[in-house]
Amino acid sequence: QSVLTQPPSVSGAPGQRVTISCTGSSSNFGAGYDVHWYQQLPGTAPKLLIYGNTNRPSGVPGRFSGSKSGTSASLAITGLQAEDEADYYCQSYDTSLSGWVFGGGTKLTVL
């Protein structure tokens, strides 16, 4: 059971908007630690998608955006494309566990 809770799967049609939630607690998000998001395409390593709650690394399309409020965070993908089909993970730091924590991952299916 992951410290950060994500839905196991989401889906959407090409062009649509989908959101992936990530629920934390008072010892991670609530303690002020940032959320970061990763995209993992099948058979590849995770790739940093969003960092510091809302920031996109160079090269990440503007279709991807992140937000955080209280003990929850979310990743939004607009204008869904077939190439977005992947697993998405949220990540933060937990002060009670004294370590980095990840969500269980959400599989995005593009219909």
Partner 1 sequence: QVQLVESGGGLVKPGGSLRLSCAVSGFTFSDHYMIWIRQAPGKGLEWVAYTTSSGRTIYYADSVKGRFTISRDNAKNSLYLQMNSLRAEDTAVYYCARPMAGVTSTPFDYWGQGTLVTVSS
For partner 1, the binding residues (CB under 8 A) are 2, 32-34, 36, 38, 44-48, 51-52, 57, 89, 91-93, 95, 98-100, 102-105
- Smallest distance from partner 1 to CB 36, Å: 4
Select 34 or 84, whichever has its Cβ closest to partner 1. 34
Select 36 or 80, whichever has its Cβ closest to partner 1. 36
DSSP per-residue letters across the chain: --SBB--SEEEE-TT--EEEEEE--TTTGGGT---EEEEE-TTS--EEEEBTTTB--TT--TTEEEEEETTEEEEEE-S--GGG-EEEEEEEEETTTTEEEEB--EEEEE-
Select 52 or 79, whichever has its Cβ closest to partner 1. 52
Select 17 or 58, whichever has its Cβ closest to partner 1. 58
Assigned token pair, 23: 């629920």
- Smallest distance from partner 1 to CB 13, Å: 26
- Smallest distance from partner 1 to CB 105, Å: 5
